[in-house]
Amino acid sequence: MNNCIKSMKLFPKALYGELAGEEKKWFSLHLEDCERCTSEYNKMAATLNIMNERKLPHPEDSYWEEYSRILYRKIDVLGRQEGYFSRVKDRFIEIMAFQPRLVYAPALVLVLIILSLTAGKNFYSVPQDTTDTVLAEARSADPYLVNTTMDSYLERSKVILTTISNFDPVEDDVYTLDIPGQKDLSRKLLRDAEMLQSAPEIRDSRELLKLVYDLQMIMLKIVEMDEMTDEFEIDLLKLSIRNSALLFKINIEQIKKRTDERNSKTGRETGGKRIVS
Amino acid sequence: MKTRSQLNNKITTEGTGFRELVRKHKRRTYYLALRLTGDHHSAEDLSQEVFIKLYRSFDKIKGESKLSTWLYRVTVNTWISSKRKRSFSMLSYKDNASLTEMEKEKAVQENMLSFPAPDMESQDLKDHIENALNNITEREKAVFILRHYEDLPLRDIADILKIAEGTVKSLLFRAVRKLRSELSFYVEQPNFERAE
């Protein structure tokens, strides 16, 4: 099986005669032994033979002069259009050069507004870290809040992990992954994870604590991800999500929680009936 | 941008004039565009758009050795972006409720062309090949055309498209597999089997 995968990786080179040396020898030997790979390879080679039948119309020699003539005419027209815009631009710059007040006065006002906004933000805002820590401590002490935070933490993590797992680096464009959005959400989830790790309910459960920790590692990787990340980096991230079976673990936790809730509800209802009877 | 009379004066750092470069590269650029688009008029428009882009960034071209790579890259990228723009405008067009009956009929006919009928013997092989090529993604088609028709090595294609060689291999593999399944009727016929 491993040899078949290895041989298929060599198909693109083999089909176009780009194999050489040891690789070529190994590939030929494998095809001699493997019927499945031979049949697959022959079908692909036959497909390329069929593709050679694609015949496109070839213009006559006289066309090429006409081609150049059309091209130069297009350049000429574009040149005239752009020339007009550049003349307008030059005129605008000329006017502004003689009227410096028109430029400097609005620029000065803008600088003053930015300075006052920056100063106001620095002097009058409460430091973010302190607020977050205080909030995290308060929330970790309340079992109801811990419970709801855990639910939303798992659900939102699931969304991120599913998006990344379903992303195909070869087929899809990287912008569809919305890396800035994923990074923002991951930052929020990292703050939630800190709170959850300090909550006694989570600390008591080894599986939950491990799950929160594993998710935290993935979120950290996402936060550190470059916005122009390459396919290989996303593939590695997908691999670590799959290897640690994170989506499976989240699903198990959610099922467990739902079962517990149903059991406690049924218990209450049965208890109620017993009192009535 | 300069006028037509000044075109000959525009030269690269190596001293080659713009007209000279057009003369040397117009056929190759046109044929790549023709293989990508499949029709003469689109190929003419696409290849001339590439030369207009070349004219605009002419002063930045370092040497003629890099020019063919640049032309390949710009042709492929311009084709992909124009195709995406067209499919986007088609989408908004299809959403429009004011589609006339004639246009609807035309859309149905085009749809029928892109999906070959079960009675394949009655259809031309050429149409099937064009349909098969239209049913693979733009990136797969670009890699396939550069390898199969332009005869460029995989490493050079990676260089042109600025992607990893592994990605080129995987795109080519996918393209050939999809083409195989689209053309399965012909692939199974013994007269098309490649002679060993």
> Do B1 and A82 make contact, defined as CB atoms within 8 angstroms?
yes
Counted domains in chain B: 2
Task: Tell me how far apart the alpha carbons of residues B3 and B101 are, in angstroms, rounded to a whole number.
Answer: 46
Full domain range(s) for residue A243: 141-266
pLDDT digits (tens, 9 = 90+) for A79-136: 777 777 777 777 776 666 655 566 677 888 899 999 988 888 777 665 555 555 555 6
Question: Which tokens sit at A266?
Answer: 């049924």
The Cα angle at residue A82 between residues A76 and A84, in degrees rounded to 5: 105
For an interface test with B, the pick among A23, A56, A230 (most B C-beta atoms closer than 10 Å) comes out as A56
Question: Residue B121: which residues within 8 A CB-CB, separation 6 or more?
Answer: none
Confidence band (pLDDT; 50, 70, 90) for B141? very high
Residues B132 and B57 in one domain: no
Full domain range(s) for residue B58: 1-96
Distance from CA of B48 to the nearest CA of A (A): 6
Residues B1 and B91 in one domain: yes
Residue ranges of B 56-85 with Cβ closer than 8 A to chain A: none
Residues B77 and B148 in one domain: no
B28 lies in some domain = yes
pLDDT digits (tens, 9 = 90+) for B30-55: 999 999 999 899 999 999 999 999 98
Residues B50 and B7 in one domain: yes
> Which chain A residues contact residue B169 at CB under 8 A?
9, 12-13
Counted domains in chain A: 2
B105 lies in some domain = no
Average pLDDT over residues A146-172: 84
Which pLDDT belongs to residue A222? 85
Average pLDDT over residues B166-193: 83
Q: Percentage of residues in chain A with pLDDT exceeding 90?
A: 18
Of B68, B70, B73, which is closest to residue B27 (Cα–Cα)? Answer: B68
| pTM for this prediction | 0.55
Which pLDDT belongs to residue B188? 77
Residues B89 and B129 in one domain: no
Give B11's strand partners: B17
